[in-house]
Amino acid sequence: MENNKLKATKEQAERLDFVISEMDRIKNGETSELKYYKLLPEYEELVSNYDWSDEVFEENGKKGLKNVKGEVVVPAIYDNYGILEPYYLKLNPVVAQLDGKVALVERDGKGTPYTDFEYHYIEPIHFSNLYAVWKKEDLKHFALMVCGMVITPYEIDDYGMPCDGVIPLAANGKKGLLAEELGLIYIKPEYDEVYDEGV
C-alpha cells in the first residue's frame, strides 16, 4: 500500500517531528490537552497519506538505508533488507541480511546488530512487538521473538492476526496462542480449538 503513496519530503518529516514532539509535551502535562486533539488530525493525515519507509542505497557492493530526510540510518554494510520501517517508528529495528543469514539491526546510523546473524528469515508480526523467526535447519516451523529474545520453541507453523492482546498460533493442525498483553504467556499449539469471547 505504501508504494501507491507519494514519498514524504524532508519538510513533511520536519513538520511530523514537530507535531510528535508537541504531542509528547502535552502527554507529559506541559500544556493544554485541547491542543493535543487539535494536533491529532494533522498527525493522522501526515502518517496516513505519505510513504515514510526508508530507502535502500548501494555503496561498494553493500546496501544501506536512508530515511526520508536523506539521513543514513544504516550504513552500506549489509547485503539486503527485509520489510522496511517508516521514518516515524525510529526505534523499530529492521531485518538485515549478511552472508546468507539475517538478524535485526538498529536504525541508529551505525546499523548496530540487535540480534545475532543466526536466522534464515525474520518476519515482523504486525500490530505487535513480536517477530516470527526461522532457522535453516527447519524451515517449516518457527519461534516467536520479542526484544531480541526467542521466547517459544521452534514448533509453530502458522499465526493469526493479533486480537484482544492475543496472537492465535497453530502447529500440526492444533491450536494455541500467545497472550502478549498478559505477560507473554505461551500456550503450546496442542488443542483442537481455542474459543475467544473477546475482551
Q: 142-157: per-residue pLDDT in tens?
A: 999 999 999 999 999 9
Percent of the chain with pLDDT over 90: 85
Q: Which residues contact 111 (CB under 8 A, 6 or more apart)?
A: 64, 74, 75, 77, 78, 96, 105
Amino acid, res. 3: N
At 68, the pLDDT band (50, 70, 90 cuts) reads very high
The pair phi, psi for residue 90, each rounded to 5°, is -65, -25
Cα dihedral sign for 30, 31, 36, 42?
negative
Question: DSSP letter string over 18-71?
Answer: HHHHHHHHHHTTSS-HHHHHHHHHHHHHHHHHEE-B-EEEEETTEEEEE-TTS-
170, 158 contact by CB (below 8 A): yes
Residue 110 cell numbers, joined: 551505525
Full-model pTM: 0.88
Q: 81-138: per-residue pLDDT in tens?
A: 999 999 999 999 999 999 999 999 999 999 999 999 999 999 999 989 999 999 999 9
**pLDDT for residue 3:** 61
Residue 127 cell numbers, joined: 500490530
The pair phi, psi for residue 80, each rounded to 5°, is -165, 180
Orientation of helix 10-27 relative to helix 33-49, angle to 10°:
150
